[in-house]
């Protein structure tokens, strides 16, 4: 059992203003794995004041000083790497291999890239007689989700630290263990007091207090579009910057000339990864109607080859995060069937032999049209919908017919034709032929998938203000 009942404020572990705890449930066992304290607006105020005080000095540190700090954090992270992977498996049910090779790995990747970007980033530029200066925006409020917990923490905290901001983090109360380890890592690395602060709690209490606080200069939120709207509303009266990385319903267009076996199998695996709990998962697969039966057969084989089980068993899929999420997924699967979709693989209920734990069958729904609920709403589980199209133009039209625009995918063997389709898709990131992630590429969405960008050098701009100093240089005679 993990008891994490203190908050990290101004460089110290402190008791909450009011003692109220919450059990953290291991989704594989449905048993309590630990407890955290639930914060209040008073705890947020203490943390924001600490961050505001620390900003005066930390914002004036040199690039070399901040680079040295990131280097020390990386060293400490490597020492706790196995602990981080184990915590993620316990808190949100990721298979052991996924926690080790992807979940925990993404934390250190963002730290390293922030360090690399920092060493060559131009914070000043002279244009004629005017100096253009990029300065840290100030105190940042971070609200992060449970599905890729340390990834979402690192891709916000690392660039904010790199440019000279101070911050308060509210991690997901459902999966908070990795955030505590992250905080211990930063403390061990010598992050100055008040620069980084941690307050646990729920969105309506701590999240709202953080996003509405007048001394918070920007708030960065990752989560559902519904919750992102609330963050923006809470932030509006203080006119702070709002960065959002929200939901997705990403199209995956399999062009007629694609290698169907490879492209469809990769598409199924992309949805099933992390039990379908990825905002950029390629959950709407579009295939030519003329080859629909072939596509469904390949998808069925790939889904049925996806093993589900205890995170320590070697299975590809663990549980989903909670009973609430399991119920939502089941409701949407049933809704799809009611609206005319066919169950190609998986379907409602738990996999055989997995009555305990929030396990979902790897599911493929075929003969879906883009007006069905399962094609419109983000399911956030291991559920793939397959839609048919007659022409490539129709495929692009269907792909873009969504309120979201986080990611899109396209597969084909003709490079020019594939690139042309990619250029027409309205999404912040388009993946051609299922290539691996590029951590230096900007990550973020169009439309209701949010605004702003994370990852790589684009992340730095989210935490910087631009100042123009006129008359900085004398005019030439």
d(CA 384, CA 224): 19
Mean pLDDT, range 394-414, rounded to an integer: 98
H-run or E-run covering 456 = helix 456-462
pLDDT score for 182: 98
Tokens found for residue 92: 């949100």
Considering the chain, what is the average pLDDT of its residues? 97
Active site residue 155: no
Residue 407 near residue 267, CB atoms below 8 Å = no
pTM score, two decimals?
0.96
Looking at the predicted structure, is the pLDDT value of residue 18 above 70? Answer: yes
Looking at the predicted structure, is the pLDDT value of residue 477 above 90? Answer: no
Q: Which residue has the tokens 């003969």?
A: 367
Domains of the chain: 2-246+446-469 (3.40.605.10), 251-432 (3.40.309.10)
Residue 250 near residue 408, CB atoms below 8 Å = yes
Tell how far CA 138 is from the center of its chain: 23
Question: Which one from 90, 91, 173, 245 is the annotated catalytic residue?
Answer: 245
pLDDT score for 475: 80
Using CA atoms, how far residue 391 sits from 283, 336, 366, in Å, is 20, 25, 19
User: pLDDT digits over 220-271, tens only?
Assistant: 999 999 999 999 999 999 999 999 999 999 999 999 999 999 999 999 999 9
Active site residue 301: no
* 3-state SS assignment for residue 453: coil
Question: Which one from 91, 279, 378, 454 is the annotated catalytic residue?
Answer: 279
Contact residues for 410 (Cβ-Cβ < 8 A; gap 6+): 252, 253, 255, 418, 421, 422, 425, 430, 431, 432, 433
Confidence of residue 474 (pLDDT cuts 50, 70, 90): confident
N- to C-terminal Cα separation, the chain: 73
Residue 155 near residue 107, CB atoms below 8 Å = no
Residue 113 near residue 440, CB atoms below 8 Å = yes
Confidence of residue 67 (pLDDT cuts 50, 70, 90): very high
Q: Determine what percent of the chain is predicted with pLDDT higher than 70.
A: 100
User: pLDDT digits over 77-106, tens only?
Assistant: 999 999 999 999 999 999 999 999 999 999
User: In sequence order, which ranges of 320-406 are alpha helices (DSSP H)?
Assistant: 323-338, 373-376, 392-400
* 3-state SS assignment for residue 35: strand
d(CA 413, CA 242): 40
Tokens found for residue 12: 């110290």
Using CA atoms, how far residue 108 sits from 75, 104, 328, in Å, is 10, 7, 32
Mean pLDDT, range 26-44, rounded to an integer: 98
Mean pLDDT, range 413-421, rounded to an integer: 98
Tokens found for residue 145: 């989700």
198 - beta bridge partners?
8, 169
pLDDT score for 183: 98
Tell how far CA 214 is from the center of its chain: 26
């Amino acid at each position: 059992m993990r008891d994490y009942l203190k908050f990290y404020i101004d460089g110290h572990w402190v008791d909450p203003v009011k003692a109220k705890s919450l059990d953290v449930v291991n989704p594989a066992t449905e048993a309590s794995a630990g407890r955290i304290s639930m914060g209040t607006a008073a705890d947020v105020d203490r943390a924001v004041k600490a961050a505001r005080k620390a900003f005066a000095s930390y914002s004036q540190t040199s690039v070399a000083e901040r680079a040295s700090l990131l280097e020390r954090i990386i060293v400490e992270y490597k020492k706790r790497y196995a602990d981080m992977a184990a915590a993620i498996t316990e808190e949100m049910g990721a298979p052991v291999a996924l926690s080790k090779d992807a979940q925990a790995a993404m934390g250190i990747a963002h730290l390293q890239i922030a360090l690399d970007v920092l060493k060559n980033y131009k914070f000043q530029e002279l244009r004629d007689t005017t100096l253009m200066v990029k300065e840290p925006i100030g105190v940042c409020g971070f609200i992060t989700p449970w599905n890729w917990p340390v990834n979402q923490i690192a891709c916000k905290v690392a660039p904010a630290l790199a440019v000279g901001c101070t911050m308060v983090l509210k991690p997901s109360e459902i999966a908070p263990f990795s955030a505590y380890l992250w905080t211990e890592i930063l403390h061990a690395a010598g992050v100055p007091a008040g620069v980084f602060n941690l307050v646990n709690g729920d969105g309506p209490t701590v999240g709202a207090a953080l996003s509405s606080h007048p001394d918070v200069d920007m708030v960065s939120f990752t989560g559902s579009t519904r919750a992102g709207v609330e963050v923006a509303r809470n932030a509006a009266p203080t006119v702070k910057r709002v960065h959002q990385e929200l939901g997705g319903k990403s199209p995956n267009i399999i062009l007629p000339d694609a290698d169907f076996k490879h492209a469809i199998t990769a598409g199924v695996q992309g949805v099933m990864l992390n039990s379908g709990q990825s905002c950029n998962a390629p959950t709407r697969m579009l295939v030519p109607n003329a080859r629909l039966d072939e596509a469904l057969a390949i998808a069925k084989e790939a889904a049925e080859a996806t093993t589900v089980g205890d995170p320590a068993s070697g299975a590809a899929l663990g549980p989903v995060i909670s009973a609430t999420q399991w119920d939502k997924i089941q409701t949407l699967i049933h809704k799809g069937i009611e609206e005319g979709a066919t169950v190609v693989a998986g379907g409602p209920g738990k996999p055989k032999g997995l009555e305990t734990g929030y396990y979902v069958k790897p599911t493929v729904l075929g003969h879906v049209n883009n007006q069905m609920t399962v094609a419109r709403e983000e399911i956030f589980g291991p559920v793939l919908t397959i839609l048919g199209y007659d022409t490539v133009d129709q495929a692009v039209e269907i792909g873009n017919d969504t309120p979201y625009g986080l990611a899109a995918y396209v597969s084909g063997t003709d490079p020019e034709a594939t690139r042309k389709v990619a250029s027409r898709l309205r999404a912040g990131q388009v993946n051609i032929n299922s290539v691996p992630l590029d951590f230096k590429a900007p990550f973020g969405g169009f439309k209701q998938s949010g605004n702003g960008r994370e990852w790589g050098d684009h992340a730095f701009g989210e935490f910087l203000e631009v100042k123009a100093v006129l008359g900085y240089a004398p005019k030439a005679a």
